[in-house]
Structure 1
């Protein structure tokens, strides 16, 4: 498989300075100095990487809620909001039903809720199922630099744990941010090589985020956190071959459960190598031909990858979003209907056809990996939410007829976040739209109101409107909650 460069997704974040942490600031300076002279790769015969695992453990253990800049806290709350909405929305999908049926006979004590459902499971199985539920629709948050979906592994884990041991809203949010920061920095260090060879990076890096966040809530010492990260490194999960099947959503769910497993063992001083991320035969060298440890250590405490998180306005793979955005804009501007269209031509980045080149999807899940279906349904419905990726929509004759008129060609000059679309009408007119950055990107982020609308649409039919409003409010005000478990309780259907 060619090594495709997706650094076009690199965005600029707002760097935050710690408000009141002399100790943490000193840590940030020390870690920067230690990594500044480190080689980008540890693959050379004489290269000696920084002590990445320990540096991360120091950072996680030493960073409190008061150290988080306001923009970082705000994005953490938005990450939570989006995750709860998609987890509730996916809670009655066939995939979740099958997981519940399979695991019910073997679950431990009923310690934690499944969002949008009445069943309770032990915390590891609850984390797994909620993680699956949150990823089913491909509607979850996305770190565009790495294509990691950060919240699934992290929030699934700590929401389950917070129902087992009391956790304040502030501590919950702090753990969420630290878990997301951990998995994204580790992902940066090995991306894109790790992803291009076939690993599903949300699972392989998400387990670190889950272990870090859960371990933070458990109050692990630095040595114990080193162990938790090491045990997480021993549990990479997820292959890209699973895309388009139920197995894809298994990956963030399993990463969530595996992270809890790692933190629980570490809390009892179950040890691991203290260099499991960076050692010659450790995680990074074993699963990737690229190891840039500066991505992990540089700017800890001052630059926050978590502020680069984005939220999907469309319920499918992120690489299709520019095309959907272009199709909806042209539809609305020109009041288009499907019967006016002779053909739709797209110039796209190579990754688009690699990931979403299914020309004749037969089920809704396959439609999420079809640029042809996505463009057709965007023109017909003027939307691309979960309802537009149902089995019925994929098989609808009107959709199929327009889908067959969509043509996509690779243009290496087009970046992953761009598209060049031309719609030719039957009367000979040509309509053109070039998208530089789609809605939902860091340049054109979804607003808080748009996130609420998305949340409400997903919860429809599962929660009452009153329950949905109450749950949204608890997410927005998580920092004021005495117990973060109130979020899980509010997500119970009546």
Structure 2
């Protein structure tokens, strides 16, 4: 037996998911979960008119399968798997959903769509839904702690999906009331469903990754609950999940993370201020600060030097973007747009905005580099940094940002979350009453059966 196989990871995760007592959940943990729900629902609704969401709906057919789970973009009711697929795809379509450093991905956009659909269909309580999210997030963090996530990501895997499907499967299993053995099978099934290639970043397939992960998490738990089998030790076995996806694995860290209370506060969630890859946010903040604090004007820029930490450009694969989707993964374009428009908004990432001649000309003035030691400021940094150095007609100006706005270390308060939410609802053109929906979202975790959000269904009916 290998060292990996000697650690009973699948059983440990299943025991935690099925048996963890969360009755003493601190209020700050619950509040992070609520904020995550508000943010995830907002960015999902904002993608109502996105082409990827429209094509997915068309492909699924005009009449979705019947069911009791709500499609958040239009209020349609369908079965849990279809709702999870559509909502998670929409939730990631604008690349505006939250992130966490440990998983190097987007945890909530897989968790909430799967859990909302399962809870609404199974008539679980709002409190049970809250606990399932906390369980699912903890499992995601535990899985991530057992592998070298940046290496996993660097090899091309989209960790949002590959790790997310396991956490969501654990959360749905919790909602279904599956026992330990059934949950082990659910995790084994989810491991066989895990996937997502980063080569598809900048296309519609990237948001489909969490869509498939959320759908498959529901499917895995449904199958396991009905007696479908999988290897009960799948994750740690020689041909299992960690052997396939991991590198430099330390499976003892999985157990340690499960025993560490409240990953939501220990690891935190970072809420996005901009609808683009989180690895561009420090760059965006630095550039916007140069515009507003140093008076830099796009017309006077001779050249720009952008320096990130080693591997900081891994997701930023589009250096000469021509579409809005590619622009979300282009540090050069984010700098150009911030200089030209003096801000970065949802409208920044349309095809027309990216194809502007002035943006294309300006982004070609940006040179990029990675360095272990930042070119300015302290040699030490945590997680990441961005240094933007602009050579202007007036001389050089420089700005460094280590902690972007909205980061877990500089979190948005409720007011900030609500401002973003209202912008998302307005952008969607859905007609949803943002105030009514916010009231329902902030107060979802009750002891009564969760039946979706009336404000979403009402707007869908009116349309």
Residue 173 of structure 2 is matched in structure 1 by 215
> Within the alignment, does 1:346 sit opposite 2:306 as a pair?
yes
Range with bigger deviation, 72-81 or 454-463 = 454-463
Structure 1 residue 54 displacement after superposition: 1.0
* Alpha-carbon shift at residue 328 of structure 1 (Å): 0.8
Aligned partner of 2:112 in structure 1 is 155
* Residue 146 of structure 2 corresponds to residue 146 of structure 1: no
Q: Do the aligned partners of residues 421 and 261 (structure 1) sit closer, same or farther apart at CA in structure 2, a change above 3 Å counting?
A: same
Q: TM-score if structure 1 supplies the norm length?
A: 0.86
The 8 Å contact of residues 142 and 258 in structure 2, kept in 1 or not, is answered as: no
Aligned to 1:317: 277
TM-score by length of 2: 0.91
2:401 matches 1:435: yes
Equivalent-residue separation in structure 1 for 2:290 and 2:447 (angstroms): 44
Report deviation, 1:311: 1.1
**What is aligned with 1:469?**
435
Task: Find the aligned partners of 1:345 and 1:199 in 2 and give their Cα distance.
Answer: 29
1:125 aligns with: 82
* Pairing of 1:61-140 with structure 2 (within 5 A): 61-104=18-61, 107-140=64-97
- Within the candidate set 393, 399, 406, 1:426 is matched to 393
**Distance between the aligned counterparts of 1:225 and 1:488, measured in 2?**
32
- Which residue of structure 2 lines up, in the alignment, with residue 417 of structure 1? 384
Cα distance 1:170–1:462, how it changes in 2: closer, same or farther (>3 A)? same
Matches within 5 A, 1:14-29: none
* CA 1:59–1:357: 2 relative to 1, 3 Å: closer
What SS class does the counterpart of residue 142 from structure 1 fall into? Answer: coil
Q: 1:59 to 1:440 in 2, by over 3 A?
A: same
Cα offset for 1:462?
3.2
The answer to whether the 8 Å contact 2:281/2:404 transfers is yes
State the SS of the aligned residue for 1:148: coil
Give the unaligned 5+ runs of structure 1: 1-43
What are the ranges of 5 or more consecutive residues in structure 2 without an aligned counterpart?
375-380
Aligned residue among 135, 153, 156 for 1:178: 135
What do the CA deviations read for 1:55-114 (whole angstroms, capped 9, x no partner)? 111111112441322222111111111110111111220101100011126842243221
Q: Aligned to 1:66, what secondary structure does the other structure show?
A: coil
**SS of aligned partner of 2:106:** coil
Aligned-pair CA distance for 1:463: 5.5
**Could you tell me which residue of structure 2 aligns to residue 373 of structure 1?**
333
Conservation of the 8 A alpha-carbon contact between 2:67 and 2:121: no
CA distance in 1, matches of 2:405, 2:424: 19
Match for 1:228 among 183, 186, 190? 186
After superposition, the C-alpha distances for 1:233-271 in whole angstroms (9 at most, x for unaligned) are 121121111111111111111011111111111112222
**How many correspondences in the alignment?**
450
**Cα separation, partners in 2 of 1:46 and 1:112, compared to 1, 3 Å:** closer
- Is 1:248 the counterpart of 2:206? The answer is yes
Q: Residue 322 of structure 1: CA displacement?
A: 0.9
Distance 1:46 1:211 in 2: 26
